[in-house]
Chain A
Amino acid sequence: MRLLFSDRLACVGVALIVVVLMVGLLAPYLAPYPEQGRGQSNLTERFEAPNGQHLLGTDNYGRDVLSRIIYGARIPLVMGGAVLIGCLGVGVPLGGVAGYYGGRVDEAIMRVTDVFLAFPSVLLAIALVAFIGPSLKNTAIALIICWWPWYARLVRGITVSTRTRQYVESARVSGVSNLTVVRRHILPATIGPVVVSASLDLGAVIISAAALSFIGLGAQPPTAEWGLMMNEGRPYILDAWWIATFPALAMFVLVLSTNLLGDGLRDALDPRSIR
């Protein structure tokens, strides 16, 4: 932890993520027009350019873009977190079992992941959401289904390479049972790469979720969701550029900060840097 914070860029990433979280939590108090953030339209003030009253302008329903961005901050991190936890919950045990026991179990699990990874993941997610119906929850489910194989593979790879390490063999010579070997020697070896991979994926998951909303398969109007807002602003991009641009910028900053955090974690979790 201390190491993570000695990395300035990682600090910036963490700080921005905390800011986004706080903004999301305190949305009703921070948003200048909370009811518009929740979706109430205000048809008298449509397409207003950024000004003193509406710092980031208003959209085609006259809603304050800033308020909607603030409300939209609630979704991506929760979404990303839920999807990643789901992926880890499925991928880590399956990958661990495949790697440690090998043989047929391994073959079976890995062929299943191959099938999933053979599809372009966003396309698969689109198909799944289209099948189970568009909503935020279903977006999360679809993304978990598309994403867990990466973690299963990652964990399997580490497990296979750790299992044959001499320190694992010497633990077995001392009579350490399978379960304890996995718990003490193998899982700890996977934590670093898994956490790093998850934090680097966080940005990608957020983008995918927003992309699904953008094409109408995620959050439904009038929810304030950045991907959806970009889509709503798309027809007016030439005349009212602020409607789509500001949510996109918010997205950019959030994803950048998750990547900074991921990089920082990668450096900090390297065992050679433990003091």
Chain B
Amino acid sequence: MSLLEVRGLKKYFPIKSGVLKRTTGHVYAVDDISFSIDKGETLGLVGESGCGKSTTGRAVLRLIQATGGSVTFDGTDVMAASRGEMQRLRRDMQIIFQDPYASLNPRKRVRHIIGEPLDIHGIGTEAERKRQVFELLETVGLSAEHAERYPHEFSGGQRQRIGVARALALHPRLIICDEPVSALDVSIRAQIINLLEDLQEEMGLTYVFIAHDLSVVKHLSDRVAVMYLGKIVEISDSNLLYDRPQHPYTEALLSAVPIPDPETERSRRRIILEGDVPSPANPPKGCVFHPRCPRAQEVCTTAMPRLAVSGEAGDRHEVACFFPTRYEDGKRTVSDTPFEGASLGAADAPPIGED
């Protein structure tokens, strides 16, 4: 059974205007997304800024209240969890933030930052907690003598290690990594990524890895979900997605990644998307990607395609597109007739804008 199961998750932020603060519209930050992660797996969540990746992470942890949908962690319904249940769940689900400068309280010593979760959950005695903090520091490649220092005395990479140590303090099973390396120097990035990988191996951790850097995600993830404007447009096993992208948006994203080989790089075919990402407050009707899609046809403007397996049956590769790329005998083809799987049930989908 999967460790984390997300079904139809929605988060709409109300837009309020006027003196009376009436709700005049919604930002559809996350609009009906579903995915599941098995224990020990890493799910990469990629997409441009503002596509709802971080909001998804926060909603899963109930840092923000989701508008709809369900999140099930190891059989427990996170959305409906009572205070006590939530407190137990908190031990199992943690988060590592993007900005190691904002995520550590500048007024607290490292010992208190890492020890706070232990303290709150009343784990061990004072002395045991202190020892655990030292162990955690060593686990993340720092040393016990760092415990008495303040965050500003550390470099970005070291701070991120402290953030990792804090996330590990309660021995969680799931860690949501919200762009943990995008604020770091390229040279430091690899260190943190390797640290995360090692920890996963040692502790059997499950990660949701949110990033906009496709190569980092490819390196780490078992499965990858591509998000666009609050929706998952393609989700698949990592190597399948990178080798055989089916959604035109995924293809465009992948084509933008430089290849570290001058020969191939020169022949790299780049797909340049026209226009900007539409505002999530006013998403396009039909497929959210259609205004920028080179393949868009009439059907795309009327209905949002649903995630479905379009390639070989049994593939763990789903795409939300009426005209997905197919790979037959190694040849790349795009059908002219709309893919039926994508429209199934589209009529039952609730109209956008309803809470």
A residues with a Cβ closer than 8 A to B are: 165-167, 169-176, 180, 184-185, 188-189, 271-272, 274
Contacts and interface: CB of A to CB of B under 8 A. Distances in A.
B170 A174 contact: yes
B162 to A, nearest CB: 11
Contact of B103 (A167, A172, A176): A167
Interface of B: 58, 61, 63, 86-87, 90-91, 93-95, 97, 99, 102-107, 113, 116-117, 120-121, 150, 152, 163, 166-167, 169-170
A166 B99 contact: yes
Contacts of B169: 174
Contacts of A271: 106-107, 150, 152
A169 B170 contact: no
A167 B104 CA distance: 5
Nearest to B95: A173
Q: Which 6 A-B pairs have the closest CB atoms?
A: A175-B90, A174-B117, A166-B103, A167-B105, A166-B97, A166-B102
Q: Which of B94, B105, B120, B150 has the most CB of A within 10 A?
A: B105
A175 B150 contact: no
Given A165-B102, A166-B102, A170-B103, A175 B93 contact: no
A167 B86 CA distance: 19
Given A170-B166, A173-B95, A272-B152, A189 B107 contact: yes
A255 B91 CA distance: 53
B120 A188 contact: no
B120 to A, nearest CB: 5
A203 B182 CA distance: 47
B102 A167 contact: yes
A187 to B, nearest CB: 11
B87 A173 contact: no
A184 B107 CA distance: 10
A173 B163 CA distance: 13
Contacts of A170: 95, 97, 103, 163, 166-167
Contact of A174 (B104, B105, B106, B120): B120
